[in-house]
């Protein structure tokens, strides 16, 4: 600073808040096929990631999710061109040679007429799935996996470690590929094409194997998988509460989704959630752990999570109130319109860009493997 005072940095947000925000945007994406709203959701997630993404290896995975989403969209369109679409259309773009199929393959065709209506319907459907993938990628780029693991209850610790290792595999793989390609370019060797891919692939697999062995040794040295002695009555009570809670959640959810179960759905769901949480609380006694500097739910974290939940809730209400605006038709072929108040609801997802710190300080735990 010009006045000589050190600039203070705000504490990074709770990792669960980022996941709730991203899952809220993803839920909103599943409630609409309007390409304008889906494009707005993509823009909101990209802006927040650009503004709030920390400088860590796992934060570079967002571009990989963008490429995956683009690949999903292209594959969806290719399938429609090759296999046809159930949507009737009158605007024929091209007619491909059709392959005759046996009588037992009725309803399936290879080739034939490709209509604009079928392509547009496939584009809307593929864009919805692509937006959902991008929202998950935003959560991977913003939330620290190691810090998220620290927030899990003890009963879910082993499962959480497996999930964290799976989530960090892709970012670490991408970082290894970038590092090896940069090294090959500095040495004047090709890093593109089939030859470059084959010569980069072997060191990447070797590095993944070495990292797996090091992770296994670190987990064994830190006592992973060892449990404390718990009395038999506590174990039976834990199993009964957890199983009963999960059954209650399933029964309550089914009741809420059916017209006849509206009276008992919500009480059963609430009782199931309470029983499941109690079972997880008791199950945590088998894995006694301490937390160094546990993450706190600050007001900024609550507002970030609430913004994603609000986007999901408002888009769900909009889908029920005005389904035609959120699901534009393709027959007849018309341009989609942007509904105003659902678009304003999507813009609530920009709130974390003004709450979260810009370039937050790097947590030393983010560069370590989960233990």
* For range 17-28, the mean pLDDT: 91
Please, which pLDDT band fits residue 2 given cuts at 50, 70 and 90?
very low
Cα gap 37→78, rounded to integer Å? 24
335 contacts: CB under 8 Å, gap ≥ 6? none
Which is it for the CA torsion 210, 213, 216, 217, positive or negative?
Answer: negative
- The least confident of 24-33, 43-52, 238-247, 253-262 is 253-262
Please, which pLDDT band fits residue 311 given cuts at 50, 70 and 90?
very high
Residue 33 vs residues 25, 27, 28, 315, 325: alpha-carbon distances, Å: 14, 12, 10, 11, 9
Is the pLDDT at 3 greater than 50? The verdict is: no
Taking the complete model, does pTM exceed 0.85, yes or no?
A: no
* For range 273-288, the mean pLDDT: 74
Is the pLDDT at 187 greater than 80? The verdict is: no
The ranges assigned to domains in the chain are 15-227+297-367, 232-286
pLDDT in tens, 90-115: 788 888 777 777 777 666 777 777 88
Give the residues across from 343 on adjacent strands. none
Cα gap 238→299, rounded to integer Å? 33
Cα gap 266→255, rounded to integer Å? 8
Cα gap 25→311, rounded to integer Å? 6
Question: How many of the other CB atoms lie within 10 Å of CB of 288?
Answer: 10
What local confidence, expressed as pLDDT, does residue 288 receive?
63
Give the residues across from 305 on adjacent strands. none
Residue pair 209/173 in contact by the 8 Å Cβ criterion: no
- The least confident of 179-183, 281-285, 364-368 is 364-368
Q: Name the nearest CA neighbour of 113 among 135, 134, 83.
A: 83
Residue with tokens 């390609």: 181
């Amino acid at each position: 600073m010009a006045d000589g005072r050190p600039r203070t940095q705000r504490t990074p947000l709770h990792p669960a808040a980022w996941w709730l925000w991203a899952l809220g945007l993803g839920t909103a994406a599943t409630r609409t096929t309007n390409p304008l709203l889906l494009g707005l959701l993509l823009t909101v997630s990209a802006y927040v990631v650009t503004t709030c993404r920390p400088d860590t290896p796992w934060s570079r995975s967002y571009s990989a999710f963008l490429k995956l989403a683009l690949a999903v969209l292209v594959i969806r369109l290719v399938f429609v061109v090759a296999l046809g679409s159930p949507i009737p259309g009158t605007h024929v773009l091209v007619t491909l040679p059709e392959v005759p199929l046996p009588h037992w393959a009725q309803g399936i065709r290879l080739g034939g007429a490709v209509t604009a209506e079928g392509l547009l319907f496939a584009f809307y459907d593929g864009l919805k799935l692509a937006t959902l993938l991008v929202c998950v990628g935003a959560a991977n780029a913003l939330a620290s996996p190691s810090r998220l693991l620290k927030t899990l209850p003890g009963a879910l610790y082993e499962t959480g470690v497996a999930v964290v290792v799976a989530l960090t595999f892709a970012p670490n793989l991408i970082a290894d590929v970038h590092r090896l390609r940069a090294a090959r370019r500095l040495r004047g060797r090709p890093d593109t094409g089939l030859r470059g891919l084959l010569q980069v692939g072997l060191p990447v697999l070797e590095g993944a194997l070495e990292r797996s062995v090091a992770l296994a040794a670190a987990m064994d040295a830190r006592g992973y998988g060892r449990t404390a002695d718990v009395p038999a009555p506590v174990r039976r009570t834990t199993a009964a509460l957890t199983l009963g809670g999960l059954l209650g959640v399933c029964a309550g959810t089914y009741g809420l989704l059916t017209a006849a179960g509206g009276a008992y759905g919500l009480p059963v769901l609430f009782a199931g959630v309470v029983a499941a949480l109690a079972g997880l609380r008791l199950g945590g006694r088998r894995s006694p752990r301490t937390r160094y500097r546990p993450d706190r739910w600050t007001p900024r974290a609550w507002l970030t999570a609430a913004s994603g939940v609000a986007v999901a809730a408002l888009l769900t209400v909009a889908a029920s109130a005005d389904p035609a605006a959120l699901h534009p038709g393709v027959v007849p072929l018309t341009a989609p319109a942007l509904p105003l108040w659902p678009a304003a609801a999507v813009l609530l997802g920009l709130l974390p860009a003004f709450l979260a710190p810009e370039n937050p300080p790097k947590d030393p735990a983010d560069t370590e493997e989960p233990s």
